[in-house]
Amino acid sequence: MAVKKIVKNNENSNSTIEVVEKKENNDQGRQKTLSKSSNSNNSSFASNKNLEVIQKSIEARLKIFVDLSNTKLKKLVSIPKLMEAGVYVGLPSFLWNPKMKIFIYHNKSQKKKMIDILKIIVFLNRAYNFLYDIAKQGGKILFVGTHNDFIKKHIANEAKRVGEYFINQRWLGGTLTNYKTIVNSINKLHKLTSLFESEEINKYPKKEQVLMNKKIAKLTKFIGGIKNMKSLPNVIITIDPILEHNTIKEARQLKIPIISIANTNANPDIIDFVIPGNTNSNRSLWLLLSILADAIAEAKKIPQAVVGKKDDEIILPEIVRQAKRTTPTKWK
């Protein structure tokens, strides 16, 4: 199948990433420049001069660690914009997962783990290129995110923008592994919807019409984003492997490639295309999800929302306080 070929092709990019990981240990001195100037507050920065030094340092490391002539490494978003969104900010040190070690700065003085922006750039590019290839060959992508109301709405908007499927409410057990049952629910939704659009609905009593209307609302809430999905997706995008563990479990059982944003407490081994990033920030998730959706938009020749735009054209959402969510648990 086309998807399997693409996965094999992307294995070649793993060698580039391994080179990054091996040489990263010799670059601790340069990492200190970034870690000292990093601030746990997403909306504040040290100074413009420090930011320029950080940007030049990371760009220099990219040229050293990655052979840009043999790699499809694109400038998806600027380093200042990644820092403004707080993509590099991890969780408190006591929550970290040792398997995320290759993505994290190791500074004992920090209360929070900081994610290496170089790794964010490289692995985001890897996922972007894979999504582009899948969409170019007509593959179907499923966005999954049940984080909070803001992210739920954003996932729905991005999936609709690029013409893909989404699930932004509670994950129904067996959505993938027991897809035949989900198809029955989808058919029921179509049947009830077409009934309300026809004149036959007038033959039913008012009470029965109200019950059917409630049924439509319930089905639309949970499976409205996949009502036109006629087969299993070729790729699944999730925002947090811990929050969406049921989705990942079913996808791995069916060997469906998984793209996921992973914070410092996640297990990267269960993800095919991991993107290290802050999953506790709405701004961070908004930016990364928009970039992933832009990969599909580029393949389908749809106007992009973030990629290719200048920094002043990318307006991050203004959120006064963080939306409520469950406290992140320590890895198991």
Residues 154 and 244 in one domain: yes
Q: Check residue 92 and give its pLDDT.
A: 86
Number of folded domains that form the chain: 2
Residues 43 and 115 in one domain: yes
Residues 275 and 166 in one domain: yes
Asked, for residue 332, whether it belongs to a domain, the answer is no
**What's the pLDDT band for 9 if we cut at 50, 70, 90?**
very low
Residues 58 and 107 in one domain: yes
Residues 63 and 149 in one domain: yes
Mean pLDDT check: name the lowest of 64-68, 88-92, 174-178, 239-243: 64-68
| Calpha distance 187→205 (Å, rounded) | 23
pTM over 0.85: no
Asked, for residue 329, whether it belongs to a domain, the answer is no
Asked, for residue 1, whether it belongs to a domain, the answer is no
Mean pLDDT check: name the lowest of 34-38, 104-108, 118-122, 208-212: 34-38
Residues 193 and 163 in one domain: no
Asked, for residue 273, whether it belongs to a domain, the answer is yes
Asked, for residue 56, whether it belongs to a domain, the answer is yes
Residue pair 118/20 in contact by the 8 Å Cβ criterion: yes
Asked, for residue 237, whether it belongs to a domain, the answer is yes
CA angle (259 as vertex; 232, 38 as ends), nearest 5: 160
How many residues are recorded in the chain? Answer: 332
pLDDT beyond 60 at 6: no
For residue 35, CA distances in Å to 30, 55, 178, 202, 327 come to: 9, 13, 46, 67, 25
Residues 74 and 169 in one domain: yes
Q: In terms of residue numbers, what domain contains 222? A: 179-226
| Calpha distance 102→120 (Å, rounded) | 11
| Calpha distance 2→4 (Å, rounded) | 6
Q: Residue 187: which CATH number?
A: 1.10.287.610
Is the pLDDT higher at 161 or at 332?
Answer: 161
Residues 15 and 62 in one domain: yes
